[in-house]
């Protein structure tokens, strides 16, 4: 499974999208947002990205490290 974060220029995540490994990446159509393929934080199982409650918690706790092409989610400061 591939995991993509839709985020603003500061890395604040507004949405997480998952995709099977064999499909192309989704396309972002909202102005002012970018999409980055991310790595799950250490200790967070892929299944958390399919659970709406756990996903909401992740969105509030992490942001995208926008300095890297395939970015980890990092804790918000």
Predicted confidence (pLDDT) per residue in 9-44, tens digit? 999 998 888 888 899 888 887 889 998 888 877 888
Q: What sign has the CA pseudo-torsion 31, 34, 40, 42?
A: negative
pTM, two decimal places: 0.76
Q: Is the pLDDT of residue 45 over 90?
A: no
Residues 6+ apart with CB under 8 A from 18: 1, 2, 3, 4, 49, 50
Which residue is associated with the tokens 């200790």?
A: 43
């Amino acid at each position: 499974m591939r995991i993509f974060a839709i985020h603003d220029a500061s890395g604040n995540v507004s949405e997480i999208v998952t995709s099977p490994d064999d499909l192309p990446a989704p396309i972002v159509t909202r102005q002012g947002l970018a999409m980055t393929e991310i790595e799950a934080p250490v200790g967070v199982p892929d299944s958390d990205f399919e659970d709406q409650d756990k996903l909401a918690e992740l969105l509030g706790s992490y942001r995208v490290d926008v300095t890297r092409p395939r970015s980890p989610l990092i804790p918000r400061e």
